[in-house]
Amino acid sequence: MNNHTLLLLPQEVIREILLRLPVKSLLRFKCVSKSWLSLISDPQFAISHYDLAATPTHRILMRSNDFYAQSIDTNAPFIDRGKGTLCLLRVVHLLLPPPSPPRIPDFFHFDDFRNQPHILGSCRGFILLYYERGDDLILWNPSIGVHKQLPHFQYDNITREFLYGFGYDPSKDDYLITIIPFSSSFSAENETHVFSFKTASWNSVLVNVPYSDPGNYLTFRAGSLFNETLHWLVLSKEKKVLVILAFDLVQKSFSEISLLDHLNTKKCQVCGLRVIGGCLGVCYSDEGSASTEIWVMKEYKVQSSWTKSIVVPTCDFSPICITKDGGIFGSDMRSLEKYNDKGELLQHRAYGVQEELFYCLNLQCAWYRESLLSLPTVIRNTSEDDHQQLIRKIRAANLTRIYS
């Protein structure tokens, strides 16, 4: 198509054509003309593109080191580099957004694990990062390379002392962060804290959440987002079994989802809660077994709809996503693997050094959809007084649980 042909096409037709193209192509096409640059950069175009894209592109983002992340095309094959070494054909190395400098300089611990970002969740193409050393929360769109540090976030040990999650409320066009103080002891009442990007403010709700940390399930503190609802695996005080705790981001309400009965026997080790192929799913291994079973809930919140999806011939396998060809990507915390729908190993990548150990539990990797969406606009900054008041409430709640 030459420039003369482009001039003959109505602007509405050009727009409809561009809306069906992948993000990677649209970023290149910004260079075609000033009018295309203006059109593709329009926030309303980005929203329409997200809603109308014919074939959305999904990628896996995984931590590589302190400074870089790897973005992987889930539908690209592995290639053999010889000597049994496999690499991914379409891996993009992305520079991570920088955290703020530490409040107290510490030149002797530059390789401290706290310099590495935790991936708290992904939603509509955005990745939420948490840097423990500076207590920084950063919202990042890796597809277009923009990020924003959220104001006045100074929480200690988010990934160890809270249930947490990141999601979207379509009724208010608002992105939300949810954190719930959590421990191994049951509490009659707890405060759920929800941060709104639209108002840049926290709302705290005192609710009865009779659940506790199961102890050896620390990897389930990250919420899995499905149906505008965050989900966590918790121990029910009343039933004394594992259940899924669900927090509806639209209604701001809790509910409980039952697992398969046999998953709560002592012989079962649940090793993952994820969204798998458009369904809520769990994976587990029987005691002494060398395989992992993956079950999905075909009908949301209907216990009888739990269905065995695939059996993977390795223990401690945690799925990440389903690929277009019906395969499943996941990790056993030592390697990145892809299986077909029969549980047969198709591709495998082992990591040989400690710094490259790959793990997808606790959302330390994220499956995200490429998007052109702009970072949500924050109306006002959270005041320091408001923030300190919230911190005091959280610390007081933690002390109450410790000494009660």
Q: Are residues 40 and 187 in the same domain?
A: no
**Nearest to residue 254, comparing CAs of 272, 269, 236?**
236
Task: Quote the tokens at residue 52.
Answer: 């109308």
Q: Please state the pTM of the whole predicted model.
A: 0.82
Does residue 2 fall inside a structural domain? Answer: no
Q: Are residues 32 and 63 in the same domain?
A: no
Most confident of the following: 132-141, 196-205, 274-283, 287-296: 274-283
Q: Are residues 35 and 108 in the same domain?
A: no
Q: Is 235 helix (H, G, I), strand (E, B) or coil?
A: strand
Q: Are residues 384 and 264 in the same domain?
A: yes
pLDDT, the chain, mean: 77
Cβ neighbours around 337 below 10 Å, total: 24
Is the pLDDT at 403 greater than 50? The verdict is no
CA pair distance 235, 207, nearest whole angstrom: 17
Q: Are 213 and 184 in contact (CB under 8 A)?
A: yes
Is the pLDDT at 84 greater than 70? The verdict is no
The per-residue pLDDT for 218 is 44
The per-residue pLDDT for 246 is 93
Q: Are 207 and 189 in contact (CB under 8 A)?
A: yes
Q: Which of 212-216, 309-313, 389-393 has the lowest mean pLDDT?
A: 389-393
Which residues span the domain enclosing 26? Answer: 11-47
Q: Are residues 37 and 146 in the same domain?
A: no
Does residue 404 fall inside a structural domain? Answer: no
Higher pLDDT, 109 or 307: 307
Is the pLDDT at 93 greater than 80? The verdict is yes
Does residue 4 fall inside a structural domain? Answer: no
Does residue 134 fall inside a structural domain? Answer: yes
Write the DSSP symbol of residue 124.
T
* Paired strand residues for 131: 117, 136
Q: Which of 64-73, 156-165, 216-225 has the lowest mean pLDDT?
A: 216-225
Q: Are residues 35 and 90 in the same domain?
A: no
| Element housing 130 (H / E) | strand 126-131
Write the DSSP symbol of residue 204.
E
Higher pLDDT, 60 or 182: 60
Q: Which of 19-33, 145-159, 303-317, 385-399 has the lowest mean pLDDT?
A: 385-399
pLDDT digits (tens, 9 = 90+) for 309-319: 888 888 778 88
The per-residue pLDDT for 368 is 93
Q: Are residues 41 and 74 in the same domain?
A: no
Size (the chain), residues: 404
The per-residue pLDDT for 132 is 77
Nearest-5° angle of CA 226, CA 91, CA 354?
85
Q: For residue 349, how far is the Cα from the chain centroid?
A: 22
Does residue 328 fall inside a structural domain? Answer: yes
Does residue 100 fall inside a structural domain? Answer: yes
Task: Quote the tokens at residue 37.
Answer: 């640059």
232: domain CATH number?
Answer: 2.120.10.80
Q: Are residues 197 and 82 in the same domain?
A: yes
Q: Are residues 21 and 133 in the same domain?
A: no
**Can you list the pairs that 80-87 forms with residues at least 24 positions away whose Cβ atoms lie under 8 Å?**
86/347, 86/348, 86/349, 87/349
CA pair distance 45, 41, nearest whole angstrom: 7
Does residue 188 fall inside a structural domain? Answer: yes
pLDDT digits (tens, 9 = 90+) for 98-117: 876 654 444 444 445 556 78
Q: Are residues 185 and 109 in the same domain?
A: yes
Does residue 37 fall inside a structural domain? Answer: yes
Task: Quote the tokens at residue 97.
Answer: 């957004």
Q: Are residues 313 and 200 in the same domain?
A: yes
| Element housing 58 (H / E) | strand 58-63
Residue with tokens 């390697």: 335
Higher pLDDT, 384 or 398: 398
Residues 6+ apart with CB under 8 A from 57: 22, 23, 24, 73, 369, 370
Q: Are 154 and 179 in contact (CB under 8 A)?
A: no
Most confident of the following: 74-88, 163-177, 250-264: 163-177
Domain tally, the chain: 2
- pLDDT band per the 50, 70, 90 thresholds, residue 45: very high
Could you tell me if residue 125 is left (phi over 0), alpha (psi between -120 and 50 degrees) or otherwise beta?
left
Q: Are residues 292 and 187 in the same domain?
A: yes
**Nearest to residue 167, comparing CAs of 218, 207, 203, 128?**
128
CA pair distance 329, 351, nearest whole angstrom: 16
